[in-house]
Amino acid sequence: MRTEQPKTIYLKDYKAPDYWVDETQLTFELFEDHALVHSRLALRLNSDLHGDGALPALTLHGQELALLKVVLDERELGEGDYQVDDDSLSLQPADATFALALTTRIEPQNNTALEGLYKSGSMFCTQCEAEGFRKITYYLDRPDVMSRFTTTVIAERERYPVLLSNGNPIASGEHEGGRHWVSWEDPFPKPAYLFALVAGDLCLLQDSFTTMSGREIDLRIYVEPENRTQCDHAMDSLKRSMRWDEEVYGREYDLDIFMIVAVNDFNMGAMENKGLNIFNSSCVLAHQDTATDMAFQRVEAVVAHEYFHNWSGNRVTCRDWFQLSLKEGFTVFRDSEFSADMNSRTVKRIEDVTFLRANQFAEDAGPMAHPVRPDSFIEISNFYTLTVYEKGAEVVRMLHTLLGEEGFRKGTDLYFERHDGQAVTCDDFIKALEDANGADFSQFKRWYSQAGTPRLSVTSEYDASRCEYRLHFNQVCPPTPGQPDKLPQVIPVRMALLDRDGKEMTLRLNGEALGTEAVVSITEAEQTLVFENVPTCPLPSLLRGFSAPVKLSYPYSRDDRVFLAKHDPDGFNRWEAAQGLAVDVLQGLVDIHRAGRPLNLDQRLVDVMRSVITDSELDAAMVAEIIRLPSEAYLVEVAEVADVDAIHFAREWLRRALAVALRDDMAARYQALAAAGAGEFSPSASAMADRSLKNSLLGYLMLTGEQEVLNWCVRQFVEASNMTDRQAALVALVNSPFEQQREAALADFAERWAAYPLVMDQWFSVQAMASQPGALERVQKLMEHPLFTMRNPNKVRALIGAFVNQNLANFHAIDGSGYAFLADRIIELDRSNPQIASRLVTPLSRWRKFDDERQALMREQLSRILAEKLSPDVYEVVSKSLA
């Protein structure tokens, strides 16, 4: 907790450490009311910094520790021989190499921040990234200090039969009094943030994988006994990830054993600790009875993400936390390409882009906007952001686009070879890509240092007499905190020109034939491309596959968008055109509603929707994406000043109008899909696609209010063979006016799934997101439900997070009740779990987007929070939001 103003840390102040830790030997004695941590460190002066042999003081990080013993080179130190304060231990070494042995006492059972060593239910587990290891023992807790770890865990055998740490098990044995021990050795030097320990009564799913060089790896997923039947999908995803990383990046696994442990109380998704990944159970467990298809895909993606970190993160790690995107941006890019290869590439891209635009663009436009490589922070936990992760992945994707598949691979090969075993920077990554390809990315690197989303405005002219088509590009990046002026960035634009039949024309630029699709690099603030030999005036298909994370504008008419939605040979841009049409229509409706005039339905949107719903050739998942209207969050993001009530009204009005207009086509397709999906459950991509479309149609059809549709919905809820269908029916019922059926379904669901925390999370979320008036009261009542607890991050996200992020109409209620409610929760949570509290500030931080009245109400709540005694986490986000 804050005693004084928290300090800002700057990238420009980076200094290598004074000492290295060559060896780290840890022994944990675990008890119910405390744990003893004995460490023995082999330290060595960093002679690059201190060649003259003068010995600086050694300062180790440490927080919330009771220091019991300090032994320097076999001599026990007295209290006068070292200094301890709130976050460090300092002492004066006498030699350039020396051994330091420490004993600290900690209380994992009272660790509610879930950082360091803590208890989740009856098991012990750790989360050390970014700076959690310092809550275990005093250490050089910084990623550029890499050490070989040996770990011994001692605990009561009865309660904790399974004792795990990084690397390979090397010895085990019994102690008196029913206690036992296991020792683990990790041969790969690693920073402390990759340390992990688990102790518990766990059961195990075991399998094996043979690597490309023929080594057999022991694969283990540890879960609590009742979850043993829900691990197959994670194991299968793991094996596919291992194969994929060999095939696509030439990366082989390096230890003999790879373990995943599922824990219920976890601040994020998962953690890539060397050889011992620790996961939020929501990212491991998946069975058709209890998990939706979306959850299956998330498990696949997160398992892959953490596995891929073994190379992009662990073998090559970050020099300092400003370089976080070095491992996270690259690894998100890797996992999204993996998912694209395992599922539909176009649909995966649509999902990622939708997410980025609704969320990361908003971050880039808000008070916490920061570059992919930030220049400063108060609390690093606040920088595990959409910008570092998702925009960082887009930046790597652009490098991939610019270099091509082969060039990119040459670059990553060089990167892994050159930096194996090192802690490096984003510049080192770029340098390897440059050196392997003879490329120059000096201007491109602005993507790492400039915050904000560039706007790329494009206009065109056709000169029939010269058969020339000119595209004018203009790029502007708006100011962000601390960065008033921006320089032009390299924007790769994948594009084609379409003729009147929707056929791609051959592109000729500066006398060079480029084929029918090209990637052009926009590098100037103003730039014109002149296409030659263009026989008729084309319609441009721009930024295909969202080839750069920018806000593109081109003066398409609604008719142009209809044409592209039907004819663009590029699937992504077909979706993009339909989406653009829907945004345009919705923005029009918002304006009409605000002007107090009656709304009317643009038949062109109906036509586009009808044409895809009735097209049985088109991938059903694509149809589902095309008919999904842009989210309220995205409409808020693209609005100058967002009128949440009007946005909600217009969007609901349009959904209902489309449902009425397309009732028969939707019903026919729904019935066909329901019939085709009846019977045995299938986890295949095409079965998932069918369910996705079917359930999206059901959501629309329920808006007609027809008794017949209600019957279908209730029937689907009761008879569903899987959670995807059951949950979709529940969502449709909960959002419907059929009160009796809604309450019956909720009660039935709760009774049936009370023993399944992850299923109950969905039950909480569905209600938190329901947009009828009175949602806040419902949420407040649900907080008293016996299965709800503020101590479990998944529950907080499921109920509070869902309400404040996904129920805009209710959260932004003009009486300010939603804001006050959230501020109370933030203040309350900050005392137990600052990381989770800090995440919850986001919706309040976006106050500038709203009308004056709401702005004042939101600021009032931010000020109320700021008046409290706060963690650095919440202090940073709230104070920057008000700045």
Beta carbon of residue 793, minimum distance to ligand ARG (angstroms, whole number) = 11
Contact stretch for ligand ARG (CB under 6 A) within 159-167, 265-273, 754-762, 814-822: 265-273
From residue 182 to residue 221, the character string flagging contacts with ligand ARG as x (rule: CB under 6 A) and all else as - is: ----------------------------------------
Following DSSP, what letter does each residue of 643-673 receive, concatenated?
-HHHHHHHHHHHHHHHHHHTHHHHHHHHHHH
Site for ligand ARG in 463-492 (CB under 6 A): none
Which of 162, 164, 199, 271 is in the footprint of ligand ARG by CB under 6 A? 271
Collapsing DSSP states into helix, strand and coil, what is residue 681? coil
Following DSSP, what letter does each residue of 139-190 receive, concatenated?
B--STT--EEEEEEEEEETTT--EEEESSEEEEEEE-STTEEEEEEEEEEEE
Say how far apart CA 339 and CA 334 lie, in whole Å: 9
Collapsing DSSP states into helix, strand and coil, what is residue 438? coil
Size of the site for ligand ARG (CB under 6 A): 11
**Sheet of 162-165: strands edge to edge?**
116-120, 123-127, 197-200, 162-165
| 380/766 with CB nearer ligand ARG | 380
| 29/129 with CB nearer ligand ARG | 129
Size of the site for Zn ion (CB under 5 A): 2
State the residue number with the nearest CB to ligand ARG.
384
Per DSSP, what are the bridge partners of residue 38? 27, 103
| 390/434 with CB nearer Zn ion | 390
| 255/271 with CB nearer ligand ARG | 271
Site for ligand ARG in 127-146 (CB under 6 A): 129-130
Distance of CA 122 to the CA centre of its chain: 28
Contact stretch for ligand ARG (CB under 6 A) within 232-240, 264-272, 484-492, 717-725: 264-272
Strands (E), 602-647: none
Nearest alpha carbon to residue 799 among 773, 764, 774: 764
Phi, psi of 869, deg, nearest 5: -80, 115
Say how far apart CA 508 and CA 233 lie, in whole Å: 48
- The two beta strands, 539-541 and 9-10, are unpaired
Site for ligand ARG in 731-790 (CB under 6 A): none
Question: Contact, 499 vs 538, CB < 8 A?
Answer: yes
Query: Which positions are catalytic?
Result: 306
Q: Which does 876 bind (CB under 5 to 8 A by kind): Zn ion, ligand ARG, none?
A: none
Question: Contact, 747 vs 753, CB < 8 A?
Answer: no
Which of 141, 224, 272, 761 is in the footprint of ligand ARG by CB under 6 A? 272
Beta carbon of residue 332, minimum distance to ligand ARG (angstroms, whole number) = 8
Structure tokens at 473: 């590009």
Contact stretch for ligand ARG (CB under 6 A) within 179-187, 268-276, 489-497, 740-748: 268-276
Question: Contact, 567 vs 528, CB < 8 A?
Answer: no
The DSSP code for 484 is -
How many Cβ atoms are within 10 Å of 763's Cβ, its own excluded?
A: 24
Beta carbon of residue 215, minimum distance to ligand ARG (angstroms, whole number) = 25
Beta carbon of residue 692, minimum distance to Zn ion (angstroms, whole number) = 26
- The two beta strands, 257-263 and 276-280, are parallel
Question: Contact, 364 vs 391, CB < 8 A?
Answer: yes
Phi, psi of 473, deg, nearest 5: -110, 140
Contact stretch for ligand ARG (CB under 6 A) within 66-74, 183-191, 266-274, 512-520: 266-274
Which of 25, 230, 381, 475 is in the footprint of ligand ARG by CB under 6 A? 381
Between the two ends of the chain, the Cα-to-Cα distance in Å is 21
Beta carbon of residue 318, minimum distance to Zn ion (angstroms, whole number) = 11
Q: Which does 337 bind (CB under 5 to 8 A by kind): ligand ARG, Zn ion, none?
A: none
Question: Contact, 276 vs 186, CB < 8 A?
Answer: no
Site for Zn ion in 313-342 (CB under 5 A): 328, 331
The DSSP code for 442 is T
Beta carbon of residue 360, minimum distance to Zn ion (angstroms, whole number) = 16
Collapsing DSSP states into helix, strand and coil, what is residue 704? coil
Beta carbon of residue 424, minimum distance to Zn ion (angstroms, whole number) = 16
Q: Does 379 bind ligand ARG (CB under 6 A)?
A: no
Phi, psi of 28, deg, nearest 5: -110, 125
| 136/497 with CB nearer ligand ARG | 136
From residue 307 to residue 336, the character string flagging contacts with ligand ARG as x (rule: CB under 6 A) and all else as - is: ---------------------x--------
For residue 828, what are the CA distances in angstroms to 804, 838, 840, 861? Answer: 16, 11, 12, 14
| 393/768 with CB nearer Zn ion | 393
Q: Does 268 bind ligand ARG (CB under 6 A)?
A: yes
Structure tokens at 831: 């005392």
Say how far apart CA 822 and CA 657 lie, in whole Å: 34
| 392/571 with CB nearer ligand ARG | 392
Beta carbon of residue 245, minimum distance to ligand ARG (angstroms, whole number) = 15
Contact stretch for ligand ARG (CB under 6 A) within 269-277, 285-293, 648-656, 660-668: 269-277
Beta carbon of residue 309, minimum distance to Zn ion (angstroms, whole number) = 6
Q: Does 306 bind ligand ARG (CB under 6 A)?
A: yes
Q: What angle is formed at CA 400 by the lines to CA 397 and CA 404, rounded to 5 degrees?
A: 150
Structure tokens at 603: 């038949």
Question: Residue with structure tokens 């605000």?
Answer: 594
Beta carbon of residue 103, minimum distance to ligand ARG (angstroms, whole number) = 27
Q: Which does 129 bind (CB under 5 to 8 A by kind): ligand ARG, Zn ion, none?
A: ligand ARG
Provide the sign of the torsion angle of the four alpha carbons 790, 792, 793, 797, taken in this order.
Answer: negative
| 305/348 with CB nearer ligand ARG | 305
| 352/576 with CB nearer ligand ARG | 352
| 310/475 with CB nearer ligand ARG | 310
The residues of the shown chain that bind ligand ARG, judged by CB under 6 A, are: 129-130, 268, 270-272, 305-306, 328, 381, 384
The residues of the shown chain that bind Zn ion, judged by CB under 5 A, are: 328, 331
